[in-house]
Structure 1
């Protein structure tokens, strides 16, 4: 591809990106650094991009990947991914200097951070769902300015990551959070690291502890997010969910990523929204999780 082409989705550009670094960060889990200043300068926490391997028609369509973080000079950005199918298996073969096609930033990200004197933001992740939270946490801390949102004032309480995984070998890069001042609590299904049980059990305890959280962000398997939303609703704590909906186009034309939401203005009390346009971050209270 030649120069970046500005697309009709907000500030998205469709262009080529160069692989700067690829590293394995946990079992079947990788972090990929891509050098592309036009995307890196625009993208905000919670947004995503579509990535495609050039010269291939299998898979033909791109795949969505959430922002992990942006480089300090805002000329590169990183994504994290779990190997689950043909596209991600092919991606493990990428090396520094290779080119990929990217389109982004896409979608709506997390809301602006709360007031500095508000309670801490809890970020609840399951599996690869920790991916959006490094950038979100650093923005809340006032450490980095993303896109055009500017730098926010440092909070009285740092954000906290509650991270659930199948076992210790699937827990990725907690040191990246802790070294930046974001405390991490881990839960594993088999008890090989941290709490033996579900991450929602950690959340249930934390919602009743001091300092009282001001809001919750969650990303991961849908049953986990449904449980998180239910706990937050019972505790009266606002919650936002970052959905991992499968996508084909990324700009709302194909309707393959629709999610069911509550809609008081609809005759049936519900309607559909496109995750790639109205999401992927939604207030959990509007989601039906059907």
Structure 2
């Protein structure tokens, strides 16, 4: 591939990247850093890219990965992933200097930071769902500007990450969030770290508190996001959900990632949207979670 090829998806390009570093950050969980100024300079928090291992026909298709963060030099970025299948097992063997194929940035990310001063942003994550929130949090803090348009808003209230996991060994990169100025509260199913229980219990406490959040961003297992959306709706707090839908192409051609959304214009009251194209971030109140 001689250079980036422009794809029919906004600012997306098809290109290659060189592995800069790889680090295990929790049980079966890795952070992969890639040298690719073309995508690093364009991608925004909440967007994703498709990654494929070159020279292989098994697995043949690429896999979607959300932006973790962009390095301060603007030349590289990182993604996070959990080893759960053949593709991710092979990715865990990548070492510095190896090459991967990419296309992106893809999809619509989180809304721009709210500098109104109305209240803090809560970011609610489950499992690997913390991945998109380091960049989102740094942007809210005004510590970094993302995308070729330089999204930036003066910070109002520091964001907070509410992070749920099965147990302490699956909790990834908390010191990295805290070093960026993002407080983290953890809940684990077995009580081995933080609150013994679900992350939604932490959210319910924040929504009922005096310092009510201005908005909530969430990413993780669908049952968790459904519960988050319900809590936010009851409290009258806007919520955006970043879906983890399986994807095959990443730019809307295959329709493998469709999700049901509420649509008053439809006779049935709902319609389908492509998560890769109209999402992966949706206003939570539009999702049926069916």
> Common fold, TM-score beyond 0.5?
yes
1:132 — aligned with what?
132
Q: Does the 8 Å contact 1:116/1:153 carry over to 2?
A: no
Query: Any conservation in 2 of the 1:165–1:188 contact (CA below 8 Å)?
Result: yes
Q: Deviations over 1:134-186 (max 9, x none)?
A: 00000001110100343534333200000000000000001111111111000
Tell me the residue number matched to 2:144. 144
Q: Which piece of structure 1 moves more, 242-251 or 150-159? A: 150-159
In structure 2, the residue matched to 1:198 is: 198
Could you say which residue in structure 1 is the equivalent of 2:113? 113
Long gaps (5+) in structure 1: none
| Larger displacement relative to structure 2 (108-117 or 129-138) | 108-117
The question of 1:101 aligning with 2:101 is answered yes
Match of residue 4 from structure 1: 4
Unaligned runs of 5+ in 2: none
Q: Contact 2:20–2:97 (CA<8 Å) still a contact in 1?
A: yes
Q: Which moved more, 1:55-64 or 1:1-10?
A: 1-10
Is the 1:262–1:271 Cα contact (8 Å) retained in structure 2?
yes
- Kept in 2, the 8 Å contact 1:142–1:151? The answer is no
CA–CA distance in 1 between the matches of 2:287 and 2:237?
A: 15
Write out aligned runs for 1:22-41 (5 A): 22-41=22-41
Report what 1:216 is aligned to. 216
Report deviation, 1:116: 4.4
Aligned to 1:253: 253
1:99-123 CA-partner distances (Å, limit 9, x unpaired): 0000000000000111241200000
C-alpha deviation, 1:133, in angstroms: 0.2
Question: Are the counterparts in 1 of residues 47 and 67 from structure 2 also a CA contact under 8 Å?
Answer: yes
Alpha-carbon offset, residue 45 of structure 1: 0.1
CA RMSD of aligned residues (A): 0.8
After superposition, the C-alpha distances for 1:31-78 in whole angstroms (9 at most, x for unaligned) are: 000000000000000000000000000000000000000010111000
Question: What is the DSSP-based 3-state SS (H/G/I as helix, E as strand, rest coil) of the residue aligned with 2:201?
Answer: helix
Alignment partner of 1:59 is 2:67: no
Deviates more, 1:160-169 or 1:4-13: 4-13
SS at match of 1:254: coil
Confirm or deny: 8 A CA contact 1:251 1:277 kept in the other structure: yes
1:230-251 deviations in Å (ceiling 9; x for gaps): 0000000000000000000111
Deviant stretches of 4+, over 6 Å? none
1:263 aligned residue: 263
Matched residue, 1:91: 91
Q: Secondary structure at the match of 1:45?
A: coil
Does structure 2 conserve the Cα–Cα contact (< 8 Å) formed by 1:163 and 1:184?
yes
Instruction: Give the Cα–Cα distance (whole angstroms) in 2 for the partners of residues 67 and 92 of structure 1.
Output: 17
